[in-house]
Structure 1
Amino acid sequence: MASTEHTAYGDPSAVRARIAGASPLVVKVGSSSLTRATGGLLPEKLETLVVALAARRAAGSGVVLVSSGAIATGMTPLGLRRRPRDLATQQAAASVGQGALLAAYDRAFSAHGIITGQVLLTADDVTRRGHYTNARRTLERLLALGVVPIVNENDTVATQEIRFGDNDRLAALVAHLIDAEALVLLSDVDALYDGPPSHPGTSRIPFVPGPEAIAGVDIGGVGTGVGTGGMVTKVEAAAIATSAGVPTLLTSAANAAAALTGDDVGTAFAPTAARGRARRLWIAHATTPQGRLVLDAGAVAAVTQRGKSLLPAGIKAVEGTFAAGDPVDLVDESGTRVARGLVTYDSRELPGLLGRRTKELAATLGPEYHREVVHRDDLVLL
């Protein structure tokens, strides 16, 4: 893919300028940029990153750092030579490593007169209404106080069902959560290439104006032995962020200072849509559905075309086991997903309500049944 084709879709210099002047800004750094392949923190790399972030903070920008590395940092004191595969050992390594990682950041930022604050999140924390509001409020207040929040997934308590899966996606969602003006993804790869970087003839893709520009690019690849992501997760994170109006830059941690000042490094991704409601983005990308509701044709049309809430009258069947507040997929009668939302009833309670109008339910069962199964504010189309 020739780089000259990219300029036809937008202005890459304008995107880089937006990133250079963004405040607040979310920066994500991967485990491979901070730790050894066999585990253990590399203090000099962490300090180099902090110097770049401190300069940006001194220039007046609010900065949120999403940092991987807790599990890898905890591997060495536990005598682990490779990243553990089972969840319990991962959680143990994260418990040991998170404190050491944050202590290293605190020392490095303190040298620049900057206070740090730890924010650990699970997907469950930021999709349920009260938790989501608290996460947003906490991050905004930390920024207002001049603190650099250091965010990571709460590996010590997250289960497979409520994990983000990788910090690239977490960073994209945090960027939208706090209305960040830009997202920078740092790893051990300096850019997106139009083929395997080690192959002759491949070249850097400096600018991605939209998904169609890289539709034919073989992204592939996996992360290092200490990380969970690869180029695929970074491009997916860029797609999440740009679809929410957040310009994104992908480059290496070694290029952090240049990236933050707008230099022509890495790959810049242009926003592809205007900003939407942050909470709906979390529901779409940070939740794992616990069940399915099968909708009749009228309910599908009401939800997808008229922006209505889902009512009991339009539901044909309930699948799975879930509690009130859990995410569920809404599917049509052929099984095709049309939306995802947070349900207001338990799965054991819903079958007796199907096909009935809310006024009838309220009259026979009580006023608390005069409510939606999924409110439109808690629903996102897929």
Structure 2
Amino acid sequence: MRPDLAELPAELTCPAGLRALAGHLRGAGFDADRAAGLLGAPSPEHLLGDPARYAFFAGPVPPGPVAVLTWLFILNARVPADLVRGGLDRELIELLRDLGLLATAGDGYRGTVSITPYRSRFFVSDQLFTCTGPQQVRANTGPGLVMPPHASSLLALATVDRIDDTLLDVGCGGGFLAVNAAARCGTVAGIDPNPRCARLAGWNGVLNGVEAGFAVADIASFTVPGDDRFGALIFNTPTLPRIRSTEDSEWGQSTADRLVRQTLDAAPRILRPGGTAYVQALVEVPRRYSSAAAAVRDWAGGHDVTVTPIDAPQLSVTREQLRRRRLPGHSLLAYGARSGELLDALAARDVVAVEPVTIAARVRP
């Protein structure tokens, strides 16, 4: 179901408002640890990796600014007007409304976007779901959606945390990786084929006081002039295992082999000699390969690559799960009846596993 996307101006007309918003959110105590504590999540990563599950089981909104902001912008739920006015200071409410991030909904309020707190920063994105009532969560789908930071984003951040060179965030989405890397990497930038992503990533740069350029571009054709080439790139690829090809797939979603080949071919046009491309992907492993690493090395042709498995059971499908035709309850790849559809589709393609990996490829000097 296509959501009504929050209207974004062609140009950011209120950068001062966005910069002020970050201070107000911090002043309200809105952070991932407090949000996770309110919802009984074992960690912020657990909450942000699958907020729809927490929205489904969430009870009534408790009083207080952190609760109001969590229900509005992480659980994407309607909050009664009296709780909003009693929990948030008037200036914050007016600022959210002026920026178009908060709207009236009957006798309450709803966020028009998600706002994800993480590491003292905030990230505006589209809402992947809407909580319409107790145990009522409606998924929002469509190729124009800008995803909030999610489970694979948090995994990719572990790679970014080890990079201390200039960085290009490929398929940047809302700019989560680039913004988090800016303080350490110095020069950061991002590209995405989705114009809405580039625009919201720019918002998030301003919101967090980060200087970063974000542009609409596809890695298949993107080129950087020699003197400006980056030391590293990170590409958290949109490679969910396919149930079927539909118009509701994520913008830019493709198979892992295609995106890995594109990145390896593009790396010398983007990175200086000695630079490293990091690609995170969910790899469907055909029966003819022993592992995702074997498949990636085959796709890489003459490129020298290092393939590191990622320990993420929620993003994996094992051979045993395929044999038993059953995914665990914590899987993020499919829910309920869709689990059976996914497993049937994988078997029909003679896929024996889905494995998340990080691929590192160095540009030859």
TM-score where L is the length of structure 2: 0.30
Greater strand proportion: 2
TM-score where L is the length of structure 1: 0.30
Greater helix proportion: 1
- Larger CA Rg, structure 1 vs 2: 1
